A and B are shown apart, each in its own frame.
Chain A
Amino acid sequence: MKKLKRLFTVSAVFLLLGATQAVMADDWTLVPGESSINFTGKQTGEAFSGVFNHFKTDISYDPDDPSSARVKAVVNLTSVSTGDAQRDTALPTKDWFFVSSFPQATFDATGFQPIGDNRFTVEGELSLRGLIKNIVLPFDLKVKDNRAEMNATFTVNRADFGVGSGPWAEGKWVGLDVTITLNIVAERRTP
Chain B
Amino acid sequence: MNTLQPQAKRYSLIAVLLHWLIALLFAGMIGVGFYMTRLGDTELGLKFSLYQWHKSFGITIMLLTLCRLGWRLTHTPPRNTNFRAWDQRIAATVHILLYSLTFAIPLMGWAMVSASPFNIPTLLFGEFHWPHFTFLSELPDKASAESMLKLIHKTLAYGAAALALVHMAAALRHHFILRDNTLMKMIPAATKARSTE
Across the interface, do B52 and A86 meet the contact criterion of CB distance under 8 Å?
Answer: yes
Which B residues from 65 to 81 make CB contacts under 8 A with A?
Answer: none
Interface string of A160-183 (1 = CB under 8 A from B): 000000111000110000000000
Chain A residue contacts of B47, Cβ below 8 A: 44
Asked if residues A90 and B45 are in contact (CB atoms below 8 Å), the reply is no
Which A residues from 138 to 158 make CB contacts under 8 A with B? none
Contact: B118 with A44, CB < 8 Å?
no
Beta-carbon contacts under 8 Å, B107-164 to A: 117-121, 123, 126-127, 129
* Contact indicator B129/A89 (Cβ below 8 Å): yes
**Interface size counted on chain B using CB atoms at 8 A:** 15
Contact present for B119 and A172 (CB under 8 Å)? no
A1 within 8 A of B: no
Docked-complex contact A166 and B117, CB < 8 angstroms: yes
Q: Chain A contacts of B126 at CB under 8 A? A: 84-86
Cβ–Cβ contact B117 & A44, under 8 A = no
For A166, give the chain B residue with the smallest CB separation: B117
Q: Does A46 contact B (CB under 8 A)?
A: yes
Task: Give the distance in Å from the alpha carbon of A72 to the alpha carbon of B52 in the complex.
Answer: 40
Q: Are A90 and B119 in contact (CB under 8 A)?
A: yes
Asked if B197 CB lies within 8 Å of chain A CBs, one says: no
A44 — which chain B residues lie within 8 A by C-beta?
44-45, 47-48
Which residue in chain A gives the minimum CB-CB distance to B118?
A: A167
In the complex with contacts A44-B45, A45-B45, A85-B127 CB distance below 8 A:
yes
A168 near B45 (CB under 8 angstroms)? no
State which of B48, B52, B117, B129 has its C-beta within 8 Å of the C-beta of A167: B117
Instruction: For B129, list chain A residues within 8 Å (CB).
Output: 85, 89
Q: A86-B52, A89-B129 are in contact. List 16 more A-B contacts (CB 8 A).
A: A44-B44, A44-B47, A45-B45, A84-B126, A85-B123, A85-B127, A86-B120, A86-B123, A90-B119, A93-B119, A166-B118, A166-B119, A167-B117, A167-B118, A172-B41, A172-B44
Interface residues of A (CB under 8 A from B): 43-46, 84-86, 89-90, 93-95, 166-168, 172-173
Q: Jot down 21 A-B pairs with beta carbons below 8 A, ordered by A.
A: A43-B45, A44-B45, A44-B48, A45-B44, A85-B129, A86-B120, A86-B121, A86-B123, A89-B129, A90-B119, A90-B120, A90-B121, A93-B119, A94-B119, A95-B119, A166-B117, A166-B119, A167-B118, A172-B41, A172-B44, A173-B44
